[in-house]
Structure 1
């Protein structure tokens, strides 16, 4: 009965194809569940170590500065990632990367349990380097592991199977983003400790992800491990590197367009998110309480995205086309920006952030991944890593520069300028989305590669 429902709602899967995308969805749910468990702790720990809680003295600007610092510190991280992907096969690269993050999470858990260096020391200090490094560590996990998972998934998917399967993967993934934060958020209070043990649990979840991925590779039939192959560009067996990916990105307007879709969303949402989290730091008095609230926020985002997909929002793309799906998101975000202008309050920002993120995950995420289908392996493994990491993080850093001006301009002027700028970006974003969808569909119809 479940398989029948999935075939009606997502597309006419074969039995083996349905198993393939459900299996990938389960793997993705562990990745997303881990990330959304770490993400509230990223902000909560940074607030405890660097900003301080219950303060209104302007120290929240460090949250904006953290996004700028993380952009620069991620450069060497992605360079190492590029070298790793050059050296190993695509499945081996996933094993190496997940093993690295699992070990690091265990070490972070031990560090944060230290009575002086860890979370027991609640005196905020700008020079507590652990707060900055922790922030970058979680950002890198969210960029690299997710990017590598999708590069692998896109590489083993055809254009038709992607239309059916990608939304299903995301829907199952959101379920992990609901369950894991809700199950782990009360662990500190149950143990009478800080949130450090939760990081160790995240390390265990990453190891389970590795084992599930290996099981998938070993048991999936070879014919289902083949993806779209175009005819315009000859594929080379050369594996990815950071700077090759950057060169491809800068020389193809199609890839610059994908970059801009991600960047526009992050530029606009980071402005709202900064104000939302600044209010959280002012409202709550300790990291545990803030982490619980932000965990509820994360669970709400994933729950809304899950139910959107469950009730058929993916049919926007299946029935109305890729262009409508991609153009729907800037319109939705534009409505959120206007609401932010008139209701800049904590509860309203909570709902606006939940709505904007959920629509992005449910509609924008699967649609953007389909844009990579008519591209070469080099684009999937090289340029996508650059786009996912620096399109998102670079946009967040740029928006954070604007957020740093809040104290100088005053809130009213800052709000007016950022809202007007955001609405202008949303308008440009709308037309870029239509162009990319048209170019993608043309390439698939002609069975060629865009780049």
Structure 2
């Protein structure tokens, strides 16, 4: 009885098989983000230590080039395989590559034991691209899987639980990584251990998907599109996913939301990286700073996901969530422009990261529910991977152009946020109209 009341307070009328479904889906994201956050932290600290912070903009631009072959392969697989089989395949491929990376991280000359930085340290480049591509592809694929078996009304309740599971996984495993990284003198042995634990969790994601398919009733796995308008089987090519984005204002708007979020966050993140490297010359101390930062991101995001994500979606609607995030971010950026220190930019990045995960991203994912399978999988792959990569690459280019000039970078980010708010407002209005009329974006 107490459990039922607690569920109702946190996530609304969520019970029975629907509760089981979202509980399992939350567990999948628990392992997905739990595996990613320690790797993300290592990706940044290892790259800075063995390659150098000056190459961060270049590696972000380089990752954009890898988008095309990855999405090309993904688009082909969507046409011939089930979404579950694609998830299993991605997990297997990245799991094997992850074990190879773990081995080389512990190598005495190739790995982190060699602290002489240089652009020829290929391991740093490969690790960075590996982590970036994994999270882009796997999160997009897993969200597509969830969006394809959820209705808008169900999402307002269940996506809050998913956000909580996501951030809880990030928090607990970041805390564990922070514990392992606490002694900076053991940096060379700690890094391979953290990477190995993260890679092992890849396989638990596939296990959760398998369980969801086996124990969830068929009626809980039906998509909104099937209920409104049964879809015919169609093959959508690689470039057709892009064509849908360019010819559907609603889908283009989702692309814009992704782009501006990544563009602004990349500029701010590079500012923090430069100040952090200047402040912490020792590799172990720098690694410790990043783990502490990641831990606080997860604490804030986890608390908000538990208490705020579902509440704000149910109480104020999707448009409110989409618009509030960039407005709040713009306010704290003004504070950084006035007082540009490592402490200030760290606070800005805490808000930019934590509320993106707990407020902006769950609301953005709901936008895909009233769309066809072609949009959910093909166009979403373009949006999530190219939108993210293009946003990061554009942000890196701006950082290369203006460097550490806070006034210029601050002006660019604030102007971008102004456009971002307009796009979010328009898309939020379109979403409400489509759902109210029980329509679907084709």
Query: TM-score per shorter chain, which class?
Result: over 0.9
User: Which residue of 1 is the match for residue 171 of structure 2?
Assistant: 178
Q: Does the 8 A contact of 1:325 with 1:364 survive in 2?
A: yes
User: Which residue of 2 is the match for residue 427 of structure 1?
Assistant: 418
Q: Is residue 307 from structure 1 mapped to residue 307 from structure 2 by the alignment?
A: no
User: Which residue of 2 is the match for residue 56 of structure 1?
Assistant: none
Relative distance call for 1:211 and 1:254 in structure 2 (3 A) is same
Q: Does the 8 A contact of 1:98 with 1:210 survive in 2?
A: yes
Q: Does the 8 A contact of 1:270 with 1:399 survive in 2?
A: yes
Q: Distance in 2 between matches of 1:133 and 1:159?
A: 39
- Residues 286-331 of structure 1 show CA distances to partners (whole Å, capped at 9, x for unaligned) of 4443222212211211210111122235322211222211110111
Q: How does 1:15-414 map to 2 (within 5 A)?
A: 15-51=16-52, 60-187=53-180, 189=183, 193-229=189-225, 235-238=231-234, 241-407=237-403, 411=404, 414=405
TM-score, with structure 1 as normaliser: 0.92
Tell me how far 1:136 sits from its aligned partner.
0.8
Relative distance call for 1:355 and 1:90 in structure 2 (3 A) is same
SS in 1 for 2:150: coil
Q: Does the 8 A contact of 1:195 with 1:288 survive in 2?
A: no
Q: Does the 8 A contact of 2:187 with 2:284 survive in 1?
A: no
Tell me how far 1:232 sits from its aligned partner.
8.4
- Residues 222-247 of structure 1 show CA distances to partners (whole Å, capped at 9, x for unaligned) of 11111202688772323555322111
User: Which residue of 2 is the match for residue 436 of structure 1?
Assistant: 427
SS in 2 for 1:311: helix
Q: Does the 8 A contact of 1:30 with 1:176 survive in 2?
A: yes
- Residues 67-90 of structure 1 show CA distances to partners (whole Å, capped at 9, x for unaligned) of 111111232222222233333211
- Residues 416-444 of structure 1 show CA distances to partners (whole Å, capped at 9, x for unaligned) of 22222222221222121121111111111
SS in 2 for 1:33: helix
- Unaligned residue ranges in structure 1 (runs of 5+): 52-59
- Unaligned residue ranges in structure 2 (runs of 5+): none
TM-score, with structure 2 as normaliser: 0.94
Q: Distance in 1 between matches of 2:57 and 2:4?
A: 45
Q: Is residue 418 from structure 1 mapped to residue 409 from structure 2 by the alignment?
A: yes
Q: Distance in 2 between matches of 1:231 and 1:428?
A: 35
SS in 2 for 1:448: coil
- Residues 388-433 of structure 1 show CA distances to partners (whole Å, capped at 9, x for unaligned) of 11111111110111101234xxx4xx32222222222212221211
Give the stretch that moved more between structures: 215-224 or 155-164: 215-224
- Residues 84-109 of structure 1 show CA distances to partners (whole Å, capped at 9, x for unaligned) of 33332111111111111111111100
Q: Distance in 2 between matches of 1:165 and 1:380?
A: 18
Relative distance call for 1:50 and 1:231 in structure 2 (3 A) is same
- Residues 129-156 of structure 1 show CA distances to partners (whole Å, capped at 9, x for unaligned) of 2221211110001100000000000000
Q: Distance in 1 between matches of 2:220 and 2:331?
A: 41
Q: Distance in 1 between matches of 2:218 and 2:45?
A: 44
Q: Distance in 2 between matches of 1:439 and 1:80?
A: 32
SS in 2 for 1:314: helix
- Residues 115-134 of structure 1 show CA distances to partners (whole Å, capped at 9, x for unaligned) of 12111111111122222121
Q: Distance in 2 between matches of 1:192 and 1:299?
A: 21
Q: Distance in 2 between matches of 1:100 and 1:287?
A: 31
Relative distance call for 1:218 and 1:191 in structure 2 (3 A) is farther
Q: Distance in 1 between matches of 2:203 and 2:308?
A: 32
Q: Does the 8 A contact of 2:31 with 2:201 survive in 1?
A: yes
